[in-house]
Amino acid sequence: MSRVSAAPAARNGLSPLAVAAGVAAIALLVRLLYVQFFSTPMPFWDQWDGEGATALQPWLNGTLQWSTLLTAHNEHRILPTRLVALLSYLFTGQWNNVYEARISAVVFCFIPAMLVWYALRDAATARGRTLLVAFALLMAILPFSWQNFLVGFQSQFYFLILSSVVAVGLVARHHQSVPALLAAIALSVLAAATMASGMLTSIAVGITCVVACMCLPGKRAPALCATVVLAVLAVFAYRAIPVIDSHGMLRAQSLGELLLAATYTLAWPVRSNWGVFIVWLPSALMITRMLLRRQASRTDVVMAGLCIWTALQGLAIAYGRGHQTHVPSSRYTELFVPGLFGTAWFALQLWGLLPPSRMRAVTRTAVVLFSLVVVVAPLTQVGKDFRRIRTFAADCRLQQENAIRYLVTGDPAALDVGEFELPYPDAAKLKAQLDDPRLRKILPVKLDAPGTGTR
């Protein structure tokens, strides 16, 4: 069995855990700065019905039940996000988007840290370690996912990604361990309760179990039994996803449209669908080689599982939002980071795999192209992303001012504006929630004068 040698951490300086902790700290600091400068306290859009109506109002009225927290929000079950809203309120006394966005940043910072920790535990060369850490940091600090880190409600993405990354890592590194497999199954259940595409986590984890059985030594029975349980969980989670008729127009309308949308989605961060070949070629080559040889290191299996998980997420986006859609929305982009990191791992292996030959020149060209596109493509969008962030922040301030104006004056005319000038697009539903005295009391605003700022 081929393995990447696990050199003692002391030979190359900091331990993998210390490096991962540093990555987490930097990622957290940057995200908190984004929130501090661009986020606004007033709850935004989906927070009003996804958190206010189904978590905070029942809590304030003394009627909250677990079944309420598991109520579907569109196609999604957003249990962790509702729990964040409740915990944030219980600790601060406010329903405040900024506080929730900070909690979301804390959850997020563990994602790049886990990716780095997995990679460095077996990384053999200083060059490889440095490049992987740099790539994880780049993906963590660039603002391409601004829709997620400015709105606390989007913590659902981070709970999904983190639970999935940990679950894949558990079965890849400990496929013989019953406690590890049970923990992975529990995390797959959690993933299914974060958003609709969380049901794909059980599928990706199950496939990773099979890959581990094929490529790693040891008992196979525990992992294969876990795979059966995960398959049942996937079926159950899929059947529990509500069908929203009004969203039918957003889905890919034919197999051809689905495949076209998938090439655009999986090409991210490239904005043209031809990029899908460059982005996925290193992992496709190395995973195929790994399966044919039935030999791999545990980290190889982790990275293969992450690539599989991301590919499934990309296909789900292509199906659910694939009608006349090319470039994926900002809120979906972070779903591609685990797969890109896994491909970066395989690209480093591919670089030194072959002896000097024409084929090695071809593979190294593929690695160079991959490196260029995954770094240059998001960097070229930074200016546009910051312009979008500033526009979004200005819009949120206007929405907050209109809501405060109604709270201070009680004049319904304050809500008689365009839907994009309100923190919730349905003025009647927004008014009903603003008129709730208990909910009004926990909003993060002062009500002593029109247009006043936040607490």
The string of pLDDT tens digits covering residues 309-346 is 999 999 999 998 887 777 888 999 999 999 999 999 99
Query: Comparing C-alpha atoms, which of 90, 201, 106 is closest to residue 152?
Result: 106
Q: Does 33 have pLDDT greater than 90?
A: yes
Could you tell me if residue 151 is inside a domain? yes
**How far, in Å, CA of 104 to CA of 151, rounded?**
9
**How far, in Å, CA of 395 to CA of 150, rounded?**
13
pLDDT at position 448? 57
Q: Answer with the one of 352, 380, 408 that is the final residue of a domain.
A: 380
**Residue count of the chain:** 455
- Judge if 88 and 27 occupy the same domain: no
Angle at 162 between CA 111 and CA 23, to 5 degrees: 10
Tell me the chain's radius of gyration from C-alpha atoms: 23
Highest-confidence range of 26-35, 46-55, 126-135, by mean pLDDT? 26-35
Query: Comparing C-alpha atoms, which of 439, 378, 382 is closest to residue 407?
Result: 439
The pLDDT confidence band at residue 252, using thresholds 50, 70 and 90, is confident
Could you tell me if residue 447 is inside a domain? no
Spell out the alpha helix ranges (H) of 39-177.
Answer: 46-47, 57-61, 66-69, 79-92, 97-120, 126-141, 146-149, 155-173
Could you tell me if residue 8 is inside a domain? no
pLDDT, tens digit, 9 for 90 and up, residues 379-414:
999 999 999 999 999 999 999 999 999 999 989 999
Q: Does 419 have pLDDT greater than 90?
A: no
| Helix or strand (DSSP H, E) at 77 | strand 76-77
Task: Say what the pTM is.
Answer: 0.93
Q: How many CB atoms lie within 10 A of CB 58?
A: 17
The pLDDT confidence band at residue 445, using thresholds 50, 70 and 90, is confident
Could you tell me if residue 449 is inside a domain? no
- Judge if 280 and 309 occupy the same domain: yes
Can you read off the two tokens belonging to residue 448?
Answer: 């002593």
Q: Answer with the one of 380, 403, 424 that is the final residue of a domain.
A: 380
pLDDT at position 249? 83
- Judge if 62 and 174 occupy the same domain: no
- Judge if 283 and 374 occupy the same domain: yes
Q: How many CB atoms lie within 10 A of CB 144?
A: 22
Percent of the chain residues topping a pLDDT of 70 = 94
- Judge if 416 and 370 occupy the same domain: no
Could you tell me if residue 7 is inside a domain? no
pLDDT at position 447? 65
Could you tell me if residue 6 is inside a domain? no
SS3 36: helix
pLDDT at position 155? 96
Residue type, 368: V
Torsion sign, CA atoms 281, 283, 284, 288: positive
Q: How many domains does the chain have?
A: 2
- Judge if 203 and 57 occupy the same domain: no
- Judge if 376 and 390 occupy the same domain: no
- Judge if 234 and 321 occupy the same domain: yes
Could you tell me if residue 450 is inside a domain? no
Q: Does 243 have pLDDT greater than 60?
A: yes
Query: Comparing C-alpha atoms, which of 432, 394, 397 is closest to residue 412?
Result: 432
Decide which of 282 and 355 is more confident.
282
- Residue 289 gets which letter from DSSP? H
Residue 45 Ramachandran class (φ > 0 left, ψ -120 to 50 alpha, else beta):
left
Query: Comparing C-alpha atoms, which of 328, 407, 310, 356 is closest to residue 115?
Result: 310
pLDDT at position 327? 83
pLDDT at position 200? 97
- Residue 249 gets which letter from DSSP? G
pLDDT, tens digit, 9 for 90 and up, residues 98-150:
999 999 999 999 999 999 999 998 755 555 788 999 999 999 999 999 999 99
Q: Answer with the one of 380, 397, 426 that is the final residue of a domain.
A: 380
pLDDT at position 127? 59
pLDDT at position 1? 39
- Judge if 128 and 274 occupy the same domain: yes
- Judge if 242 and 275 occupy the same domain: yes
Q: Does 4 have pLDDT greater than 70?
A: no
pLDDT at position 451? 44
- Judge if 25 and 51 occupy the same domain: no
pLDDT at position 9? 43
Between helix 275-293 and helix 337-351 the angle, nearest 10°, is 70
Q: Does 425 have pLDDT greater than 60?
A: yes
Torsion sign, CA atoms 198, 202, 207, 209: positive
Give residue 425's domain range: 42-95+386-442
Q: What is the mean pLDDT of the chain?
A: 90
SS3 72: strand
Q: Give the phi and the psi of residue 375 in degrees, each rounded to 5.
A: -100, -50
- Judge if 431 and 368 occupy the same domain: no
pLDDT at position 245? 79
Note if the bond before 269 is cis, omega within 30 degrees.
yes
Q: Does 206 have pLDDT greater than 70?
A: yes
**How far, in Å, CA of 442 to CA of 100, rounded?**
14
Q: Does 244 have pLDDT greater than 90?
A: no
pLDDT at position 122? 74
Query: Comparing C-alpha atoms, which of 80, 49, 44 is closest to residue 393?
Result: 44
C-beta of residue 342 within 8 angstroms of C-beta of residue 306: yes
The pLDDT confidence band at residue 352, using thresholds 50, 70 and 90, is confident
